[in-house]
Amino acid sequence: MATELSIYEEKMKKTLLALDGDYATIRAGRANPHVLDKIMVDYYGTPTPINQVGNITVPEARMIQIQPWETGLLKEIVKAISASDLGINPGNDGKVIRLVFPELTEERRKELTKDVKKKAENAKVALRNIRRDAMDVFKKMEKKKEIPEDELKDLEDKMQKLTDKYVAEVDKKCDAKCKDILAV
């Protein structure tokens, strides 16, 4: 029966990884190259991530520098960044694109923390859905007489404890990200 639980625990771990990925794209005042992860550039008709068409560096705490491998891509990269929800105007000198991150305003910090909490809530919903699916499977197994009733109760208890553990982990990640954003 431990194998049934491990399947659902894997799904819960993937939910946490997805949350980490979402949090990495939220900028917290400092330049983080991961904010560019979801931005796609039109590379000869194919949407391609920025990190695959150029070198991304962080020369200063509030600046990201992108050096495309082909100078012809400068305009495409600038266009993709401008069209994104980053809210930053890219500057370029014909060879390198620079993104300067301004200091976050108090209002913007509050908006970002709301976004962080919303993503955390979505992760919790996903965890609860995994728990519900597991409980359904366990009940069907009990109905088919594959497992006895006392084992069903044991599996349900273990599944609930697993869910509680991962929900607490989501809360911890949410609190840490909110503190990071609100730190001036």
pTM: 0.70
Q: For residue 48, what are the contacts with CB-CB under 8 A and spacing of at least 6? A: 40, 41, 42
Angle at 167 between CA 107 and CA 110, to 5 degrees: 0
CATH class of 2-24+105-182: mainly alpha
Q: Residue range 134-157: average pLDDT?
A: 88
- Span 1-60, pLDDT tens digits: 566 788 899 999 999 999 888 887 776 666 777 778 788 888 888 888 888 888 888 888
Domain 33-100 has CATH 3.30.1360.40: yes
Ranges for all domains in the chain classified under CATH 1.10.132.20: 2-24+105-182
Task: For residues 51-70, give the mean pLDDT.
Answer: 85
Instruction: Yes or no: say if 57 and 64 are a contact pair by the CB < 8 Å rule.
Output: yes
Specify the domain boundaries for CATH 3.30.1360.40 within the chain: 33-100
Q: What is the pLDDT of residue 184?
A: 60
Return the pLDDT at 121: 94
